[in-house]
Each structure stands twice: as C-alpha cells, then as structure tokens.
Amino acid sequence: MKVKFNREQLLNAINIVSKAVSSKTTMPILECILITAFEDHIVLTANDLELAIETSIKEKCQVISQGRTAVEARLFSDIVRKITADADTDITVETDGSIVIISCGSSEFRIQEKDPDQFPALPEINEDQYIVCSQFTLKEIIKDTIFSIAPNDSNKLMTGELFEVQGNKLKAVSLDGHRISIRSVELKQDYGSHKAVIPGKTLSEIQKILPGEAEKEVSIYFDRSHVMFRFDDTVMVSRLIDGEYFRIDSMLSTDYETKVNVNKKDFLEHIERSTILIRETDKKPLILNIKDMEMNLRLNSIVGSLNSNILINKSGKDLMIGFNPKFILDALRVIEDEEVSLYMTNPKAPCFIRDDEGSYIYLILPINFNPAAY
C-alpha cells in the first residue's frame, strides 16, 4: 500500500476515528487505526468492539498502490501532527514488509505495522429501520439529556439513553435514580416506531465529532442490537444496551400546587453560589422557600451558610422544598429559554421544570430536610 494524504484532511479523519480507539485493552489491535486504500479513496477505521467508526477521505489524497495496513493510533496521530508544521502539506504512508513508513519533506518515520487481518470487522447493520434528522438537532438532544445518565453501571440501563421514535416524534430520555431528563423533537416525516437504549459513551463521542450544522443531516439506523449513525463521510456503529428501559410515563404528572416563573440566568447564578458551600463529605440540601413575589434560598453546611433572595412570579400555594442544587443546575445550564417554569406539589413530590411546548421535561426529586432548622 502506498498513499498520499493532505495533512489537514488526514488529521481530521484521525480525530474522528480516534473516538473509537480502545485506550485500555488486552487486544493491542484495538489500539490501532486500520487504513484501507481503495482505487479512488482511503478509509480509516477504529473499533473497540463497543463502538466502531469508519471515515472516508475522498479529496486531496492519492492512492499510488491499493492495500491496507494497521498502525498504533496514538503514535500515528502524534507523527502526523508533528511531521510537518505546515497544515497543507502532503504526507506519504507506505508499507514495506512489516514496516510502515510515514514521510514528509526531509523527515521519515518508520514504525512497526500491526497485522491488519486481526482487525475486527464492523458489524453488519440492517438499514431498513431508520430516521433522519439534522446534525444540529441530534447534538442538541444529546447535550440536553446526557448529564443525567448514571456514571457507573450498578444498573447498566441507566448508563445509556432511551431513543424512542413514534411517528414524527423523537424523544431522548435519561435518568439516574434522582432525576429524569426528557427532550423531544419533531422529525420532518413519519418514521414508524423504534426504541433503543444507546450507551452514554457513544452519545458523548458522536456529540464531539458531529460538525452539528443545521442544514446537514444525520441518518440513524436501528438494528436489533446495534445503532448506526451516518453523516458526511463517516459511519459510526455502536452496540445497544440490552433490556427493557424504565417506564417513566407513570412518574410524569402535569398536576401541581405551586408554579414558579423565574429568570433563568438569575436563578442559575443564585444556585451556582450555593454550591460553593458544598463539600464531598457534607452534602446539604438547598432550601427554596417560595412566597408570593420572592424565593428565599438557604444552604447551611459545615463551611458556612448562604442566604439569598430572588424575584419570582408564583401561582398556587407557598412551599418550602429542598434539593441537591447540582441537579437543578444541570438542567438550567442546558435550557435556553430566558424564563423557566417550575411545577411543584409538596416537599416530598418531584419538581418539574418544563416548557409549554413539551420540548423538554426535567424531573428532579426533592431531598428531605428539617423545616425547623431553616
């Protein structure tokens, strides 16, 4: 195999597939990038057996002789990054026996080839069931929900997100036992009904590599145990998480006794303030004392206390309720509305932050506290 790449194009492709390079594995081949040179284009592939990414380079490259090779991803990436300081230069990659020669100008690197035949093939995906949405939309719904997946897998399903399609509606759901995040969008057409629990890692990686332009699309294919994303010159295939996702509908209620409208930026800043006093070993609730025109925020911890007031618009009953401030913060940080609405019933029932259109719902469970102490 002998190919010539434009450095910038190659680096871009390496950055994309690197997201599926395994960092800790007992199989060294999973730390590699597979380079396959076809007649008129070159494909880079990485596959850590959970997630596989393949991207094609079609422009500013030249295939001098076809073939394929595998190289250690980190080393290859470092070499391409540093072999020239000029972004727009050609880099030649050539195999010679079991050696891969990477050269540019007067500099030549020789590194060991890894056996490309050991490289695991991408899973075959049935392309019958799919939806199409804009790259921007997919990035948005991931950003708006990814923060409330559970970080470790005491319950595997909580480490992923439910993607549910019903006709022209796509809904993403994540939950961690303390809160639920739901983001819904309308698709341009009817796509039937599909359900898949996609690993959090897959979603955060695609969020990083998707250019995210509103006028460009991404197709999402739902197979029995895999999901595939196809956009631009890239294909990403991920395993799904097995099992029936939590039934959340029974937890969602539109009844409330207290409704608060508050300026989002103000509310966010007040809550950020309260987190200063929280220590890993001393997780105290933030107490919201909701009265007619004002919400009083208090937090008492071993390091000190905060007392802060914020103007609100309230309808319904007065209420005193406690939360982990981080959970409210996470939701407020992704909401783009100028004003948010909080719906509450009593100090033991969940608080809902949602908009009128139903495009987002954040359910947050309150924390018990002793009202006499505040």
Closest CA to 20 of 73, 93, 56: 73
Minimum Å distance from CB 179 to its own copies? 23
Binding mask 90-129 for its own copies (x = CB under 8 A): ----------------xxxxxxx-----------------
Task: Report the residue number, 121 or 373, with the smaller CB distance to its own copies.
Answer: 373
Instruction: Give me the least distance between CB of 11 and its own copies, in Å please.
Output: 14
Q: Please provide the size of the chain in residues.
A: 374
Question: Distance between CA atoms of 9 and 59, rounded to whole angstroms?
Answer: 8
Query: CA 337 → CA 58, 314, 340, distances in Å?
Result: 41, 18, 7
Query: Whose Cβ is closer to its own copies: residue 85's or residue 121's?
Result: 85
Taking the least distance from each CB to its own copies, the nearer of 24 and 224 is 24
Q: How far apart are CA 163 and CA 221, in angstroms?
A: 12
Check residue 79 for interaction with its own copies (CB under 8 A).
Answer: yes
- Residue 82 or 208: the one with the smaller Cβ distance to its own copies is 82
CA distance 122 to 137: 26
Rounded least distance, CB 192 to its own copies, Å:
47
From the CB of 53, what's the least distance to its own copies, in Å?
23
Tell whether residue 304 is a contact of its own copies (CB under 8 A). Answer: yes
C-alpha–C-alpha distance, residues 10 and 2, integer Å: 14
Q: Which of 335, 329, 332, 342 is nearest to 359 (CA)?
A: 335
- Which residue type is seen at 71? V
Minimum CB separation from its own copies for residue 111, in Å?
A: 4
3-state class percentages of the chain: helix first, strand second, coil last, to nearest 5: 25, 45, 35
272 contributes a contact to its own copies by CB under 8 A = yes
Give the residue, chosen from 187, 248, 310, 320, that forms a contact with its own copies under the rule CB under 8 A: 310
Is 75 one of the binding residues for its own copies (CB under 8 A)? Answer: yes
Q: Identify the helix (H) or strand (E) that includes residue 119.
A: none
Residue 303 in the binding site for its own copies (CB under 8 A): yes
Does residue 307 interact with its own copies by CB under 8 A? Answer: yes
Assign residue 243 a region: left if phi > 0, alpha if psi is -120 to 50, beta otherwise? left
Is residue 46 at the binding interface for its own copies, with CB under 8 A as the rule? Answer: no
**Segment lying near its own copies (by CB under 8 A), choices 211-219, 262-270, 315-323, 356-364:** 262-270
The Cα–Cα gap between 28 and 48 comes to 10
Check if the beta carbon of residue 362 is closer than 8 Å to that of residue 331: yes
In angstroms, what is the minimal distance from the CB of 72 to its own copies? 8
Q: Are 116 and 193 in contact (CB under 8 A)?
A: no
373 touches its own copies by CB under 8 A: no
Contact 158, 248 (CB under 8 A): no
- Binding its own copies (rule: CB under 8 A), the pick from 92, 207, 309, 341 is 309
By CB atoms closer than 10 A (0-12, 13-18, 19+), residue 65 is exposed
Interface with its own copies, residue 270, by CB under 8 A: yes
**How far apart are CB 298 and its own copies at their closest, in Å?**
10
The binding site for its own copies (CB under 8 A) comprises 72, 75, 78-79, 82-83, 85, 106-112, 265, 269-270, 272-273, 276-277, 303-310
